[in-house]
Structure 1
Amino acid sequence: MNALTEPGNPDTSTTTTAQPEPEPKDYFVSRDGVRYAGSHLIIDLWDAHRLTELEHVDRVLRQAAADTGATILHGHFHHFGEGCGVSGVLVLAESHVSIHTWPERGYAALDIFVCGGCDPYRALPALKAGFSPGRVQLAEHKRGLSDEP
Protein backbone atom coordinates (compact mmCIF):
# COMPACT_ATOMS: atom_id res chain seq x y z
CA MET A 1 0.00 0.00 0.00
CA ASN A 2 1.07 3.53 -0.52
CA ALA A 3 0.26 6.65 1.48
CA LEU A 4 -2.75 7.46 -0.67
CA THR A 5 -4.46 4.12 -0.23
CA GLU A 6 -3.54 3.29 3.36
CA PRO A 7 -6.35 3.37 5.86
CA GLY A 8 -6.87 6.84 7.29
CA ASN A 9 -5.60 8.59 4.16
CA PRO A 10 -8.39 9.81 1.90
CA ASP A 11 -8.21 8.99 -1.80
CA THR A 12 -7.17 12.26 -3.45
CA SER A 13 -7.30 11.00 -7.01
CA THR A 14 -9.95 12.48 -9.28
CA THR A 15 -11.69 11.09 -12.28
CA THR A 16 -12.02 13.38 -15.25
CA THR A 17 -14.45 12.90 -18.03
CA ALA A 18 -13.03 13.59 -21.46
CA GLN A 19 -14.48 16.80 -22.81
CA PRO A 20 -15.03 17.17 -26.54
CA GLU A 21 -12.54 19.41 -28.29
CA PRO A 22 -14.05 22.82 -29.04
CA GLU A 23 -14.84 23.44 -32.68
CA PRO A 24 -12.16 25.59 -34.31
CA LYS A 25 -13.37 29.15 -34.85
CA ASP A 26 -13.99 30.08 -38.47
CA TYR A 27 -12.70 33.58 -39.16
CA PHE A 28 -14.18 33.79 -42.66
CA VAL A 29 -16.73 36.56 -43.11
CA SER A 30 -20.30 36.11 -44.34
CA ARG A 31 -22.00 39.32 -45.47
CA ASP A 32 -24.89 39.84 -47.86
CA GLY A 33 -24.76 36.21 -48.97
CA VAL A 34 -21.01 36.38 -49.79
CA ARG A 35 -18.41 34.34 -47.90
CA TYR A 36 -14.74 35.43 -47.91
CA ALA A 37 -11.57 35.43 -45.82
CA GLY A 38 -11.53 39.17 -45.14
CA SER A 39 -11.49 42.70 -46.47
CA HIS A 40 -8.28 44.16 -47.83
CA LEU A 41 -8.31 47.94 -48.14
CA ILE A 42 -5.74 49.62 -50.36
CA ILE A 43 -5.48 53.23 -49.22
CA ASP A 44 -3.57 56.08 -50.84
CA LEU A 45 -3.19 59.29 -48.85
CA TRP A 46 -2.23 62.40 -50.84
CA ASP A 47 -1.10 65.77 -49.48
CA ALA A 48 -0.57 64.00 -46.17
CA HIS A 49 1.48 65.28 -43.22
CA ARG A 50 3.88 63.93 -40.56
CA LEU A 51 5.07 61.14 -42.84
CA THR A 52 8.71 61.35 -41.65
CA GLU A 53 7.88 60.88 -37.94
CA LEU A 54 8.39 57.19 -37.13
CA GLU A 55 6.84 57.31 -33.64
CA HIS A 56 3.83 59.22 -34.96
CA VAL A 57 3.32 56.79 -37.85
CA ASP A 58 3.56 53.85 -35.43
CA ARG A 59 1.05 55.44 -33.01
CA VAL A 60 -1.46 56.31 -35.75
CA LEU A 61 -1.34 52.81 -37.25
CA ARG A 62 -1.76 51.18 -33.83
CA GLN A 63 -4.82 53.33 -33.20
CA ALA A 64 -6.21 52.53 -36.66
CA ALA A 65 -5.69 48.78 -36.12
CA ALA A 66 -7.30 48.90 -32.68
CA ASP A 67 -10.26 50.79 -34.13
CA THR A 68 -10.92 47.93 -36.58
CA GLY A 69 -11.28 45.58 -33.60
CA ALA A 70 -8.04 43.75 -34.41
CA THR A 71 -5.46 42.32 -32.02
CA ILE A 72 -1.92 43.63 -32.54
CA LEU A 73 0.71 40.90 -32.20
CA HIS A 74 3.88 42.68 -33.36
CA GLY A 75 4.97 45.90 -35.02
CA HIS A 76 8.10 46.89 -36.90
CA PHE A 77 8.77 50.31 -38.39
CA HIS A 78 11.86 51.54 -40.24
CA HIS A 79 12.91 55.15 -40.84
CA PHE A 80 15.04 55.78 -43.92
CA GLY A 81 16.86 58.81 -42.49
CA GLU A 82 16.43 62.51 -41.81
CA GLY A 83 13.60 63.91 -43.96
CA CYS A 84 12.97 60.49 -45.51
CA GLY A 85 10.02 58.13 -45.35
CA VAL A 86 8.91 55.37 -43.05
CA SER A 87 7.92 51.80 -43.85
CA GLY A 88 6.24 49.59 -41.34
CA VAL A 89 3.93 46.74 -40.58
CA LEU A 90 1.69 45.64 -37.75
CA VAL A 91 1.12 41.91 -37.63
CA LEU A 92 -2.40 41.28 -36.40
CA ALA A 93 -4.04 38.11 -35.15
CA GLU A 94 -6.54 38.93 -37.91
CA SER A 95 -3.87 39.72 -40.62
CA HIS A 96 -1.89 42.98 -41.06
CA VAL A 97 -1.62 46.74 -41.51
CA SER A 98 1.26 48.20 -43.52
CA ILE A 99 2.47 51.63 -44.61
CA HIS A 100 5.11 53.11 -46.91
CA THR A 101 5.54 56.90 -46.97
CA TRP A 102 6.98 59.30 -49.53
CA PRO A 103 7.09 62.58 -47.58
CA GLU A 104 8.67 64.44 -50.50
CA ARG A 105 5.40 63.83 -52.35
CA GLY A 106 3.06 64.01 -49.36
CA TYR A 107 2.05 60.43 -50.19
CA ALA A 108 1.44 57.33 -48.08
CA ALA A 109 0.45 53.87 -49.31
CA LEU A 110 -1.38 51.69 -46.78
CA ASP A 111 -2.80 48.18 -46.71
CA ILE A 112 -5.30 47.09 -44.10
CA PHE A 113 -6.28 43.43 -44.31
CA VAL A 114 -8.50 42.01 -41.56
CA CYS A 115 -10.73 38.99 -41.16
CA GLY A 116 -13.41 37.84 -38.77
CA GLY A 117 -15.48 40.49 -37.07
CA CYS A 118 -12.99 43.29 -37.74
CA ASP A 119 -14.08 46.24 -39.89
CA PRO A 120 -11.22 47.88 -41.83
CA TYR A 121 -13.31 50.95 -42.61
CA ARG A 122 -13.23 51.87 -38.91
CA ALA A 123 -9.49 52.63 -39.35
CA LEU A 124 -10.15 55.58 -41.66
CA PRO A 125 -10.94 58.25 -39.02
CA ALA A 126 -7.62 57.57 -37.21
CA LEU A 127 -5.69 57.75 -40.50
CA LYS A 128 -7.39 61.00 -41.50
CA ALA A 129 -6.84 62.56 -38.06
CA GLY A 130 -3.22 61.39 -37.88
CA PHE A 131 -2.05 62.38 -41.37
CA SER A 132 -4.51 65.13 -42.42
CA PRO A 133 -4.52 64.09 -46.08
CA GLY A 134 -5.94 66.42 -48.71
CA ARG A 135 -7.22 63.44 -50.66
CA VAL A 136 -7.88 59.76 -49.95
CA GLN A 137 -8.13 57.04 -52.60
CA LEU A 138 -9.59 53.75 -51.47
CA ALA A 139 -10.12 50.34 -53.02
CA GLU A 140 -11.46 47.19 -51.37
CA HIS A 141 -10.69 43.64 -52.33
CA LYS A 142 -12.50 40.70 -50.75
CA ARG A 143 -9.82 38.07 -50.15
CA GLY A 144 -10.58 34.36 -50.35
CA LEU A 145 -13.99 34.56 -51.99
CA SER A 146 -15.69 31.24 -51.40
CA ASP A 147 -18.52 29.41 -53.16
CA GLU A 148 -19.49 27.84 -49.83
CA PRO A 149 -22.48 29.29 -47.99
Structure 2
Amino acid sequence: MKIEPTKDHFIINQGVEYSGIHLLIDLWGAEHLTDQLYIEHALISCTEICNAQLLHIHLHQFTDTGGISGVAVLAESHISVHTWPERQYAAFDVFMCGSATPHNAIEHLETTFKATKINVQEILRGCNAPE
Protein backbone atom coordinates (compact mmCIF):
# COMPACT_ATOMS: atom_id res chain seq x y z
CA MET A 1 0.00 0.00 0.00
CA LYS A 2 1.51 3.30 -1.09
CA ILE A 3 0.21 6.29 0.82
CA GLU A 4 0.99 9.73 -0.53
CA PRO A 5 0.68 12.57 1.99
CA THR A 6 -0.27 15.91 0.49
CA LYS A 7 0.75 19.42 1.49
CA ASP A 8 -2.40 19.81 3.61
CA HIS A 9 -1.79 16.36 5.21
CA PHE A 10 -4.67 14.69 3.36
CA ILE A 11 -3.78 11.19 2.18
CA ILE A 12 -4.08 9.72 -1.30
CA ASN A 13 -4.19 5.92 -1.31
CA GLN A 14 -5.12 3.94 -4.43
CA GLY A 15 -6.87 6.98 -5.87
CA VAL A 16 -8.91 7.69 -2.71
CA GLU A 17 -8.26 11.02 -0.99
CA TYR A 18 -9.09 11.43 2.70
CA SER A 19 -8.02 13.41 5.76
CA GLY A 20 -7.02 10.48 7.93
CA ILE A 21 -7.73 7.06 9.33
CA HIS A 22 -9.97 6.83 12.41
CA LEU A 23 -9.82 3.52 14.26
CA LEU A 24 -12.41 2.65 16.89
CA ILE A 25 -10.78 0.02 19.10
CA ASP A 26 -12.79 -1.83 21.75
CA LEU A 27 -10.83 -3.91 24.26
CA TRP A 28 -12.61 -6.49 26.43
CA GLY A 29 -11.08 -8.44 29.31
CA ALA A 30 -8.56 -5.61 29.63
CA GLU A 31 -6.26 -4.92 32.58
CA HIS A 32 -4.73 -1.76 34.15
CA LEU A 33 -7.87 0.29 33.50
CA THR A 34 -7.66 2.25 36.77
CA ASP A 35 -3.91 2.91 36.60
CA GLN A 36 -3.55 6.48 35.34
CA LEU A 37 0.25 6.35 35.04
CA TYR A 38 0.08 3.04 33.14
CA ILE A 39 -2.45 4.52 30.71
CA GLU A 40 -0.33 7.65 30.24
CA HIS A 41 2.72 5.52 29.39
CA ALA A 42 0.58 3.39 27.05
CA LEU A 43 -0.54 6.53 25.18
CA ILE A 44 3.06 7.76 24.92
CA SER A 45 4.32 4.42 23.58
CA CYS A 46 1.33 4.15 21.24
CA THR A 47 2.16 7.57 19.81
CA GLU A 48 5.77 6.51 19.25
CA ILE A 49 4.89 3.18 17.62
CA CYS A 50 2.49 5.00 15.26
CA ASN A 51 5.22 7.46 14.20
CA ALA A 52 3.20 10.40 15.48
CA GLN A 53 4.18 13.52 17.42
CA LEU A 54 2.73 13.93 20.91
CA LEU A 55 1.70 17.47 21.86
CA HIS A 56 -0.19 16.96 25.14
CA ILE A 57 -1.89 14.32 27.30
CA HIS A 58 -4.81 14.97 29.63
CA LEU A 59 -6.34 12.20 31.75
CA HIS A 60 -9.13 12.31 34.32
CA GLN A 61 -9.89 9.56 36.83
CA PHE A 62 -13.43 9.17 38.12
CA THR A 63 -13.75 8.58 41.86
CA ASP A 64 -16.84 6.35 41.77
CA THR A 65 -15.50 3.56 39.52
CA GLY A 66 -11.84 4.45 39.05
CA GLY A 67 -12.43 4.63 35.31
CA ILE A 68 -10.27 6.96 33.27
CA SER A 69 -11.08 9.22 30.32
CA GLY A 70 -8.52 11.18 28.43
CA VAL A 71 -6.84 12.24 25.25
CA ALA A 72 -3.40 12.39 23.75
CA VAL A 73 -3.37 15.38 21.41
CA LEU A 74 -1.09 14.73 18.46
CA ALA A 75 0.26 16.89 15.67
CA GLU A 76 -1.50 14.32 13.45
CA SER A 77 -4.81 14.37 15.43
CA HIS A 78 -5.52 12.38 18.64
CA ILE A 79 -5.84 9.17 20.61
CA SER A 80 -8.69 9.13 23.13
CA VAL A 81 -9.45 6.59 25.83
CA HIS A 82 -12.43 5.81 28.06
CA THR A 83 -12.26 2.90 30.52
CA TRP A 84 -14.94 0.96 32.36
CA PRO A 85 -12.91 -1.14 34.83
CA GLU A 86 -16.06 -2.66 36.33
CA ARG A 87 -16.64 -4.27 32.91
CA GLN A 88 -12.95 -4.79 32.01
CA TYR A 89 -13.65 -2.67 28.92
CA ALA A 90 -11.76 0.17 27.25
CA ALA A 91 -12.68 2.23 24.19
CA PHE A 92 -9.87 3.86 22.21
CA ASP A 93 -10.23 6.21 19.26
CA VAL A 94 -7.07 6.51 17.18
CA PHE A 95 -7.35 9.23 14.53
CA MET A 96 -4.27 10.17 12.51
CA CYS A 97 -3.49 11.97 9.28
CA GLY A 98 -0.37 12.42 7.17
CA SER A 99 2.37 9.80 7.30
CA ALA A 100 1.48 8.44 10.78
CA THR A 101 0.71 4.71 10.97
CA PRO A 102 -2.42 4.32 13.15
CA HIS A 103 -2.83 0.59 12.44
CA ASN A 104 0.26 -0.02 14.59
CA ALA A 105 -1.90 0.94 17.59
CA ILE A 106 -4.15 -2.11 17.28
CA GLU A 107 -1.76 -4.86 18.38
CA HIS A 108 0.08 -2.49 20.72
CA LEU A 109 -3.06 -1.62 22.71
CA GLU A 110 -4.30 -5.21 22.71
CA THR A 111 -0.97 -6.44 24.12
CA THR A 112 -0.39 -3.53 26.51
CA PHE A 113 -3.80 -3.94 28.16
CA LYS A 114 -3.78 -7.77 27.91
CA ALA A 115 -7.20 -7.78 26.26
CA THR A 116 -8.92 -11.12 25.76
CA LYS A 117 -11.14 -9.78 22.96
CA ILE A 118 -10.76 -6.88 20.55
CA ASN A 119 -13.06 -5.25 18.03
CA VAL A 120 -11.80 -2.69 15.50
CA GLN A 121 -13.75 -0.46 13.13
CA GLU A 122 -12.03 1.74 10.56
CA ILE A 123 -13.36 4.97 9.11
CA LEU A 124 -11.69 7.03 6.40
CA ARG A 125 -12.37 10.60 7.48
CA GLY A 126 -13.02 13.35 4.96
CA CYS A 127 -13.27 11.11 1.90
CA ASN A 128 -16.76 12.16 0.81
CA ALA A 129 -16.25 15.86 0.21
CA PRO A 130 -19.35 17.66 -1.07
CA GLU A 131 -19.25 18.55 -4.75
Task: Provide TM-score, normalisation by structure 1.
Answer: 0.79
Match of 1:126 among 105, 108, 112: 108
The answer on 1:41 being equivalent to 2:23 is: yes
Is the 8 Å Cα contact of residues 71 and 78 (structure 2) preserved in structure 1? yes
Aligned match of 2:3 = none
Aligned match of 1:59 = 41
Aligned match of 1:27 = 9
Match of 2:59 among 62, 77, 87: 77
Query: RMSD between aligned alpha carbons?
Result: 1.6
Aligned match of 2:85 = 103
Q: Quick one: distance in 2 between partners of 1:54 and 1:82?
A: 15
Identity of aligned residues (%): 44
Stretches of structure 2 that go unaligned for 5 or more consecutive residues are 1-5
Is the 8 Å Cα contact of residues 67 and 123 (structure 1) preserved in structure 2? yes
After the TM superposition, list the runs of 4 or more consecutive aligned residues in structure 1 that deviate by more than 2 angstroms: none
Task: Provide TM-score, normalisation by structure 2.
Answer: 0.89
- C-alpha displacement of 1:129: 2.2
Paired letter, 1:95? S
Q: Quick one: distance in 2 between partners of 1:94 and 1:146?
A: 20
- C-alpha displacement of 1:145: 0.5
Structure 2 residue matching 1:59: 3-state secondary structure: helix
Q: Quick one: distance in 2 between partners of 1:131 and 1:89?
A: 17
- C-alpha displacement of 1:26: 2.3
Question: Greater share of strand residues, 1 or 2?
Answer: 2
- C-alpha displacement of 1:33: 1.2
- C-alpha displacement of 1:67: 1.0
The answer on 1:113 being equivalent to 2:114 is: no
Q: Quick one: distance in 1 between partners of 2:107 and 2:84?
A: 21
Is the 8 Å Cα contact of residues 34 and 146 (structure 1) preserved in structure 2? no
Match of 1:137 among 90, 95, 119: 119
Is the 8 Å Cα contact of residues 78 and 95 (structure 2) preserved in structure 1? yes
Structure 2 residue matching 1:126: 3-state secondary structure: helix
Number of paired residues? Answer: 124
The structure that has the greater radius of gyration is: 1
